[in-house]
Chains A and B, each alone.
Chain A
């Protein structure tokens, strides 16, 4: 039931980390501590939302991805591009230019992720109609939210719709399409251009599935830099259209906030930003809110337009996508001779594959597997909480007094990590100044406590 070693796309580079605790303070699942002057990640609590990545002042938090040259291991290289990627570019750069450059830098095909929406939106309504017991149905679109529910809201895992996101549906379709054109499956590499860390983790270690149809992942910021540079350097007029043809307005805006909700029958609600989502799920768990049929929940503010690997301002990206989607409606586009068949022609095949397996809870909240042990630990936590100052200063290397108390009860920390307790112990003569400094060094590293040896002249 539990898998502590599941894949994370977020990694902390110890050589770069300065132990500033910014990441620790923003982590919505309290998954980070500072030890020996470096941030340490608790893998079983991290949901790959990427909030830590946003605030790191020294870029010590990195997002694991595949090397760009990995694409050349394959004879046929498909760039699976989400609409928010095109939304990163200034308005005067056309979709044609963007896609042409993607082909020029090494891809043989460009396919838009949101094509899968045409299959998925019907499947969502079918699931909602066939499974009233799952009400409110929670979208499986955002992988950080799926993981958040697994670790923090285990009683709600059954509400998650067991359907593949558009990304996987499109990957399956394009794979099948290329095979139908006589291209051997093993010669095709499908590379997803990701706006966030959570999607990478979901591809490398899919929840509810054994493997993914996607070969590799290219981070959006990296591809953006490559493409934008080429666009700037050359005046590209050639027109390589995406092989899927035009996206509908619904598909183009699917990854934005309120992209899914309006297309699901009944009362549906769209909530973005992970703390807003946590607050809402708390209420949902208490059944304080009821009679909602569908929940679109996204970890990032402005959904994928606000992904941690995006470059452009999230509001401008969202605006651009909405404008593009209007263009799509009006413009009569030239159809590329290599254009793939519409995804709807593969509907039966894709509908057969669209379901994913059971999503299991893996609660990070429990103090112990055994309830009486957990009760003992909780009593200990409560006793410790009486002693702590409740200022959540973070000097102990934990994000809050509560987190420190739990770490102590679990045997991962000591009460004298608290700076207030240290002062009292020093006053009582139970802790020497040297020992107190040593404790600080164990938390914050030698460098930070050694800086202040010579204070003269300040």
Chain B
């Protein structure tokens, strides 16, 4: 099954819409609550990353009986040093974003902890693509 969601950069009131929708879908598909939790937490972090840093983005979700594949493609500043960004506590978030309780530098590491496969590719000045896979039976 395929789903797509648009994400608007800078609109924190809408951040979490795609993860809430995915959560509902996975509950209806009778996916193990523990798996749902991991996937939704990972997607929420990635979704907030787009809202916090990019201009806009699209989330593509593909679900089959074995795995959940999520691809987030954004148009934005990109990440100069992905390895550094993957480190816990590292953040380039603005003070305004931090004031809202985001930007603690936990995003990418948290995504990594909650997915089975994670691939981040980025081009500075153009955008970032995050691909994550979660297997349903672990």
Contact = CB atoms under 8 A, between A and B. Distances in A.
Contacts of B89: none
A285 B37 contact: yes
Contacts of A379: 1
Contacts of B34: 155
A366 B27 CA distance: 6
Interface in A362-419: 363, 365-372, 374-375, 378-379
B28 A378 contact: yes
A155 to B, nearest CB: 4
A372 B31 CA distance: 11
B112 to A, nearest CB: 15
Contacts of B33: 154-155, 157, 361, 363
Contact of B36 (A155, A288, A371): A155
Contacts of A372: 65
B16 A288 contact: yes
A375 B36 contact: no
Contact of B29 (A154, A282, A371): A371
Residue from the set A286, A288, A370 with the largest chain B CB neighbour count within 10 Å: A286
Contacts of B27: 154, 363, 365-366
A286 B1 contact: no
Contacts of B72: none
Contacts of B28: 365-367, 374, 378
B20 A286 contact: yes
Contact of A368 (B23, B30, B44, B63): B30
Interface residues of A, number: 23
A378 B27 CA distance: 11
Contacts of A370: 30
Contacts of A367: 28-30
B19 interface: yes
Nearest to B3: A382
A319 B27 CA distance: 41
Contacts of A348: none
Contacts of B30: 363, 366-371, 374
B25 interface: yes
A345 interface: no
Contacts of B65: 371-372, 375
Interface in B8-42: 16, 19-20, 23-25, 27-31, 33-34, 36-37, 40-41
3 smallest A-B Cβ distances: which pairs?
A155-B33, A366-B30, A365-B27
Given A285-B23, A375-B65, 12 more contacts: A154-B27, A155-B33, A155-B34, A282-B20, A287-B41, A363-B33, A365-B24, A365-B28, A366-B29, A375-B29, A375-B64, A378-B1
5 contacts: A154-B27, A155-B36, A286-B23, A287-B44, A371-B30
